[in-house]
Amino acid sequence: MSQARFASCIPLPIEHKTLVNVIEKARDWGLMHGVAMRDKKHFNKDVIQVAPFVLLPSPFPRTEFEKAVELQPILNELMHKVAHNNEFLEHTLQNALQVDEFTKNLYDIWVKVRNEVITQPISLGMLRSDIMLESRCPHTENQCAKHTPYCSWKQVEINSIASGFGHLGPVSREIQR
């Protein structure tokens, strides 16, 4: 059984020689425009490497994108309320804090900041909301595949750590052009 897919915006397959050339140019362009990071394991202040990026854009239905945009303020408010609910965070994270050093370090920073005097009553949430299209429609037994290659989108995660690469979105768009 074949899955329905969106048509590619670029003729595929790309000839191997052309693909290698495009990748090389995209990596060089990316380095010159901030698509870079340092290697954590072998840190060298004089060395950067290309940050991961997507070479070809993935088609996404405008109607589903608009639904996600409409829902985003509600998700943002939920994340804000969670981030400012001390009891909920302490209770929810108690087991993870015992076994996950990364989470424990972040939690300790949060406790330290929480215990300091708050100098202003505002906060900034920098979040990245990841969604994916669901192509399996269990309740309709593949009837949605007859009309569209998806039946809905699903929230995969809301990420705050990876938001540090937020600038890569617009730069990735330029690479794909």
DSSP 15: P
pLDDT band at 152 (very low <50, low <70, confident <90, very high): confident
Q: Is the per-residue pLDDT at 65 higher than 50?
A: yes
**DSSP codes, 121-153:** S------EEEEEEE---TTTTTHHHHH-S-SEE
Residue 105 has pLDDT above 80, yes or no: yes
- pLDDT > 50? residue 2: no
Tokens representing residue 31 in the block? 């380095």
Q: Is the predicted pLDDT of residue 41 greater than 90, yes or no?
A: no
Per-domain residue ranges of the chain: 85-122
- Mean pLDDT for the chain? 82
Instruction: Tell me the pTM.
Output: 0.66
- Residue 107: pLDDT band (50, 70, 90) is very high
Angle at 156 between CA 144 and CA 76, to 5 degrees: 115
Q: 90 pLDDT exceeds 80?
A: yes
